[in-house]
Amino acid sequence: MSIEQALMERSGSKCELCGSEDNLAVFEVPPVEAHSDKCILACGTCRDQIEAEELDQNHWRCLNDSMWSPVPVVQVMAWRMLTRLNSEPWAQDLLDMMYLDEELEKWARAGMPADDAVATRDSNGAVLAAGDTVTLIKDLDVKGTGFTAKRGTAVRGISLTDNPEHIEGRVNGVRIVILTKFVKKS
């Protein structure tokens, strides 16, 4: 059985991302060789959008359904597209709900553009920029100050550092370094 036939059977002859039945073809999910477990069946619109610089955010609202697919390669593509759309509140909400095990997340991140690989990201994978507002997701003891930064505290106007795992911001009037794994973009 060919890869295309296997994917047609797996997907019910529909795009595995948006459900369209038009212009279906095999899409290899990088960075792996062609194999039905590493490919999806995608419509022409999804294939064009995956490789486009600018995304049609309304087309990708379909990820609300496909992100729950039991097929790992579909989950990886849904995560990648939601990550690219993370500036949209609805996409960030979906990304917040999505869970990938370590192996799938490693694969998903490996296929992202190289410049995003060194970007500063919050605990959910959203790219942070200087001036953003973040929220603490855990109580943090601030060394040398004698106070605890409480969960839910908004840190406005953050600054990026040379280390993509650290940001700087003011909490209770004190400028501190915060690990990005303890913040969520607001």
Q: pLDDT tens-digit profile of 26-70?
A: 998 887 655 558 899 999 999 999 988 888 989 999 999 999 999
Residues 134-185, CATH architecture: Roll (2.30)
Question: How far apart are alpha carbons 123 and 172 in whole angstroms?
Answer: 22
Structure confidence at residue 75 as a pLDDT band (50, 70, 90): very high
Taking the complete model, does pTM exceed 0.75, yes or no?
Answer: no
Query: Which pair of tokens denotes residue 25?
Result: 């073809």
Give the number of other Cβ atoms within 10 Å of residue 58's Cβ: 8
Bridge partners, 42 (sequence order): 25
Per-residue confidence (pLDDT) for residue 153, from 0 to 100: 95
Q: What is the pLDDT of residue 122?
A: 92
Instruction: Give the CA count within 13 Å in the CB-facing half-sphere of 181.
Output: 2
Among residues of the chain, what percentage have pLDDT more than 70? Answer: 94
In this structure, which amino acid lies at residue 149? A
Q: What is the pLDDT of residue 111?
A: 73
The span from the CA of 33 to the CA of 163, in Å, is 33
Rg of the chain in Å (alpha carbons): 19
The tens digit of pLDDT for each residue in 102-156 reads 988 888 888 776 544 468 899 998 889 889 999 999 999 998 888 999 999 999 9
Question: CATH 2.30.30.40 region(s) of the chain?
Answer: 134-185
